[in-house]
Homo-oligomer: A and B are copies of this chain.
């Protein structure tokens, strides 16, 4: 599974592509940042964000796009820009028929560090270790994007395993009923 993680923002939008499956060493395919000038018109910044995301989708052809879920408890101006940039990321992915999944910042932190309240340095350190990099990706937005992709790869099979367990239980019940009837 190849996942494009997107840490949304208008000034810096982190992008990271990770390939792999849960339980096996993961591979970093690419990492970077889409930047737009803070003094530019918002509409033009959104066009630049769209162009940047399209380039990453074209270059790396991910199977899934994982985007950080935006909350509005933070600074009002920042949240608006983040919500707008995340909308463009979701739009670009869904327009191509790619599944879009959202993960909260604490889900991502918990997935890669074991704690939903880990700081940026800890997330950067674990991303470096898990992807066997020489140094933490800079800026933090790029590292966060990789963490999002890793989180998705690791959470996806958990969901699948849960579904499989439920399916197995149902199958067992059906088999038991049949066995009962056969008596």
Give A contacts to B, CB under 8 Å. Answer: 41-44, 46-47, 50, 70-73, 76, 79-80, 83-88, 90-91, 93-95, 100, 102
Interface of A is mostly: helix
User: Is there contact, CB below 8 Å, between A100 and B70?
Assistant: no
Task: Give bound CA distance, A176 to B62, whole Å.
Answer: 66
Of the residues B41, B70, B72, B94, contact of A47 by C-beta under 8 Å: B94
Provide the residues of chain B in CB contact with A43, threshold 8 Å.
Answer: 90-91, 93-94, 100
Distance in angstroms between the alpha carbons of A100 and B41 in the assembled complex: 9
Q: Is the CB of A83 within 8 A of B76?
A: no
A72 to B95, CA, bound (A): 27
A82 CB to nearest B CB, Å = 9
Q: List 19 A-B contacts (CB under 8 A).
A: A41-B100, A42-B102, A43-B90, A43-B91, A44-B94, A46-B90, A46-B91, A46-B94, A47-B91, A47-B94, A50-B95, A70-B80, A72-B72, A72-B76, A72-B79, A80-B83, A83-B87, A84-B84, A87-B88
Bound CA–CA A85/B76 (angstroms): 17
Contact in complex: B90, A80 (CB < 8 Å): no
Apart from the given pairs A42-B100, A46-B90, 7 other A-B contacts in the complex at a CB distance below 8 Å: A47-B91, A50-B91, A71-B76, A72-B72, A84-B86, A88-B88, A91-B91
